[in-house]
A = this chain, B = another copy of it.
Amino acid sequence: MASKKPAPVKADAPARKGRSATSYDVALRAGVSQSAVSRHFKPGASVSPETRARVIKAARELDYIPNALARSLITRRSNLVAVLISNLTNLYYPEVLSELSQQFVSKGMRILLFTVPHEEDIDQVVSQVWQYQVDGVIAATRLSLEHIMEFERRGIPLVLFNRTLKEKAVNAVVCDQIEGARDLVSRLAATGHQRFGIISGPKDSVVGQERTRGARARILELGLREPLIVPGEYDYQSGVRGMRELIDAKGKAPDAIICGNDIMAIGCVDAARHEFGLDVPGALSIAGFDGVEPATWLSYQLTTLRQPVQKMAHSAVDMLVSLIGNEQDSPEKRVFSAVLIEGKTARLQQPPQ
């Protein structure tokens, strides 16, 4: 029988069966010390060409790859970033995630993905985040004040994406929804729209509420009548239902409908055209927010306020990375402006006299 104590490693081959080679194995094979191997993988380390060559050779022969987990343990940097995202079926988020991903790879960081299907689950999710010693967090989810405080307490840099907190200043990259919504209303009012309807986002969506609030405020400012507001859940069916409700509501039907996001706007357009036979934008103007891809499709060519997702993602990653390096100083909020895409679902040009 083989002795119970670990057999003296054979000169060649990675010692323990099934396991992958370690830096120690490589050192053994290259005839150098383990630290020499380690150094070799560190960028600006001092190592003679000769040793380097031997290490490279041995490493290649053994298929050696450094263990990032072990490294993180000692360096206290995991190069892992948590991305919390609500609802990937939301169409807006995949774009965000995709951009974030690209940016992070270019910084040499890996994404630990946490999807939050239901708001209730957020607690559980957040508690999972700590365990993996992520260097930072980007959250595109609703986050409670307590959670944010906890991040701060644990010293984990956090950047909110398209979210802010009323109660507390916090690092965030956002798009000015109110400004956008006001512009939109102004433009619509300038071309004669008078009766506004709004299909709003869910109550717990700050972004959605801002869009609604901004639009409503401007409507009233302009002396137009109180808009009819019906609730939605950011999905296509909400747009369809919203349209029905606005039509069914007593009083004259609106001549302009502002939807909390593009998908609802698309549902709204479809319902208007296919269910009610309305001419959009002839009889009714409809606009959305986000600027997702389907909004550009020929069937819609939606009038919408496009968020500069790419810029925002870039900015968020930059912010997080610089936060990770340095001490946390005062929170910063980067605000981007939405861009009005005129599209063809709203009358925004003066009719020729």
Contact = CB atoms under 8 A, between A and B. Distances in A.
B101 A115 contact: yes
Contact of A112 (B66, B112, B293): B112
| Residue from A88, A91, A95 having most chain B Cβ neighbours under 10 A | A88
The A interface is mostly helix, strand or loop, or mixed, namely: helix
A88 B101 contact: yes
Interface stretch (A172-180, A197-205, A268-276): A268-276
B68 A154 contact: no
A131 B67 contact: yes
B78 A88 contact: no
A282 interface: no
Contact of A72 (B66, B69, B273): B69
Contacts of A89: 94-95, 98, 293
Contact of A131 (B65, B114, B133, B275): B65
A276 B279 CA distance: 21
B299 A300 contact: yes
A112 B66 CA distance: 17
Interface of A: 18-20, 63, 65-70, 72-73, 76, 78, 80, 83, 87-89, 91, 93-95, 97-98, 101-102, 105, 110-115, 117, 125, 127-128, 130-133, 153-155, 236, 240, 266-267, 270-271, 273-275, 293-294, 296-300
Nearest to A299: B299
B68 A132 contact: yes
Contacts of A94: 88-89, 91, 93-94, 97
A133 B69 contact: yes
Given A98-B88, A113-B111, A155-B18, A274 B299 contact: yes
Contacts of A19: 76
Contacts of A66: 131
A80 B132 CA distance: 10
Nearest to A115: B101
A113 B100 CA distance: 11
Nearest to A99: B88
Contacts of A297: 236, 266-267, 270
Nearest to A117: B102
| Residue from A18, A73, A294 having most chain B Cβ neighbours under 10 A | A294
